[in-house]
Amino acid sequence: MEQLIVIKIGGNVIDNTPVLEKFLSDLCVIDGPKILVHGGGKLATELSTSLGIETKMVEGRRITDDATIRIVTMTYAGFINKTIVAKINACGGNAIGLSGVDASLIPAARRPVKDIDYGWVGDILASRINTNLLSALLSAGLTPVIAPISGTAEGHLLNINADTIAQSLAVSMSSLYQTTLLYCFEKKGVLSDVRDENSVIPLIRISEAAELKANGTIGSGMIPKIDNACRAVSDGVSQVIIGRSDDIISIANNKHGYGTRISH
Amino acid sequence: MEQLIVIKIGGNVIDNTPVLEKFLSDLCVIDGPKILVHGGGKLATELSTSLGIETKMVEGRRITDDATIRIVTMTYAGFINKTIVAKINACGGNAIGLSGVDASLIPAARRPVKDIDYGWVGDILASRINTNLLSALLSAGLTPVIAPISGTAEGHLLNINADTIAQSLAVSMSSLYQTTLLYCFEKKGVLSDVRDENSVIPLIRISEAAELKANGTIGSGMIPKIDNACRAVSDGVSQVIIGRSDDIISIANNKHGYGTRISH
């Protein structure tokens, strides 16, 4: 099977223009099919503040009322998505910006209200991801750039977690491609010593993860990321890599000390 | 050649939710390949006002400074585009929202400064429109929904006139499809008596247009629209129709009294 890389970038890349521009020009150098999923960064919060709309977060998730779904759609699917696409294409890439509503790429449903009403926050209907469209775009040499917005079956826009989109897309595309999922964060990889940036653990096998968590090698802050990565690998992704956006060329070239691979 | 219809809607449709929703559900009923181009409406101006950014218009064109290009990209390519796509898909359509930067669909250049500096306003490089991508999407049964945003070769976003996008796309696609360009405005068609909504002129041949302008049958307010329509027909579009968004099903069915056709 052909190889595919699904890359997730978040606020630490998006909010820093020089870092974002270096990342996007590096991305253009990496051959082969790629999908880029981006989060939102601080722009939505800044716009809300400027408009006098209160930002409410619960456990890191944005409570998305009527005013907020407009703001996140404007910032994520509008300014951030088109800025990234324009910059990739200016570097000689061939990106196409999409959200989950486009061609019903990522069907979703509003999250049911239990203890918390998240508002217009959605959960992905993973079995219905439009892998045919993504595959056709990739075959045409395009790099889909996905904003974390989708919609209900009735056509109401929804705010979706970008990490979850990246994971769901990577799992779905694993039926068609040998898929690597790369989460960019602020460190070179998972560190065996949090005080030493050079103590990157190069490889974590999912069979070893439980022991590395139990003996403290994987710090508590990394546990949710590692758990998600192990689940993605169990669900069909060939490998998950956790590393720094600044290092994607070194990561793509398997250079030692850059990125932690989680695999079978 | 297969038929294609390129439809332009502006603020009079976008700003009125019931009118927009009826139009989009009617659109889903019309068979065959379609491209929808939308303008911006009043949302960008409202957002600018809320943020304390002055809106400067010269001859109907928005002066687009650094703050304004962010606002129009957020509103046009973000909220309006994704709202339209989500609503079409909820009606059983299969829309994909794009801007001119996506897959370098509509390459553009910043307008040179002569008497007026329009800022980040762009002119389309019509010979380089990505007709292959549009054709592939149409063949896959998708309806492209185009926001009037593009970018420079260096990757800076640009604000583009939506009427011009519709016209340029229709002309470019005429090499592949028998193309109809439909401009939606607030009246049933071009009226021979502006006080009588039922005096729609059903057909204007481009050879007759000069005489109809000279003898006053075409009112002065309609002359720029008719001149643009004649130019589109001269450049390869099969026909241009000027009519009301509310009437697109009647227009598509050639019902008498709905829409003015401009053709050879």
Chain A residue numbers with beta carbons less than 8 Å from the beta carbon of B51 are 50-51
For residue B262, being part of any structural domain is answered with no
> What are the tens digits of pLDDT across the range A228-249?
999 999 999 999 999 999 999 9
> What are the tens digits of pLDDT across the range A92-130?
999 999 999 999 999 999 999 998 999 999 999 999 999
The answer to whether the Cβ–Cβ distance between B77 and A73 falls below 8 Å is no
Give which of B24, B50, B74, B75 to mutate to test A binding, by max A Cβ within 10 Å. Answer: B74
Task: Report the pLDDT value the prediction gives residue B249, as an integer from 0 to 100.
Answer: 95
Degrees, nearest 5: CA angle A56-A60-A66: 40
For residue B93, being part of any structural domain is answered with yes
For residue A233, being part of any structural domain is answered with no
Please, where are the H alpha helices in A30-111? 43-50, 66-72, 81-90
Using the predicted structure, report yes or no on whether residue B138 has a pLDDT greater than 90: yes
User: B6: which 2 tokens?
Assistant: 């390129």
Pairing of strands A122-124, A108-110: antiparallel
Largest CA distance in chain B: 51
For residue A110, being part of any structural domain is answered with yes
For residue A165, being part of any structural domain is answered with yes
Using the predicted structure, report yes or no on whether residue B57 has a pLDDT greater than 90: no
- Among B91, B140, B156, select the one facing A86 at the smallest CB separation: B156
pTM of the model: 0.96
For residue A212, being part of any structural domain is answered with no
> What are the tens digits of pLDDT across the range A50-78?
999 988 888 778 899 999 999 999 999 99
Buried b (16+ CB within 10 A) or exposed e, B238-261: bbbbbbbbbbbebbbeeeeebbbb
Q: How far apart are CA B238 and CA B219, in angstroms?
A: 24
The answer to whether the Cβ–Cβ distance between A95 and B77 falls below 8 Å is no
Q: What domain count does chain B have?
A: 1
Task: Give one DSSP letter per residue of B182-226, joined into a string.
Answer: EEEESSSS-BSSTT-TT-B--EEETTTHHHHHHTTSS-GGGHHHH
Neighbours of B89 (CB within 10 A): 23
**ipTM of predicted complex:** 0.95
Q: By C-alpha distance, which of B107, B105, B102, B99 is closest to B75?
A: B99
Do the Cβ atoms of A243 and A260 come closer than 8 Å? yes
Min Cα separation B102/chain A (Å): 4
Chain B residue numbers with beta carbons less than 8 Å from the beta carbon of A148 are none
The answer to whether the Cβ–Cβ distance between B75 and A73 falls below 8 Å is no
Min Cα separation A216/chain B (Å): 44
Q: By C-alpha distance, which of A160, A163, A176, A175 is closest to A124?
A: A160
CATH code of the domain containing A108: 3.40.1160.10
Rounded to the nearest 5°, which phi and psi values hold at B190?
A: -75, 125
> What are the tens digits of pLDDT across the range A141-169?
999 999 999 999 999 999 999 999 999 99
Print the domain residue range for B72.
Answer: 3-185
For residue A223, being part of any structural domain is answered with no
Q: How far apart are CA A71 and CA A77, in angstroms?
A: 10
Task: Report the pLDDT value the prediction gives residue B71, as an integer from 0 to 100.
Answer: 96
DSSP state of B111: P
DSSP state of A220: G
Task: Report the pLDDT value the prediction gives residue A98, as an integer from 0 to 100.
Answer: 98
For residue A264, being part of any structural domain is answered with no
Q: How far apart are CA B9 and CA A153, in angstroms?
A: 24
Integer CA distances (angstroms), A102 to A24, A42, A77, B94, B178, in order: 23, 24, 11, 8, 26
Integer CA distances (angstroms), B242 to B63, B222, B228, in order: 28, 10, 11
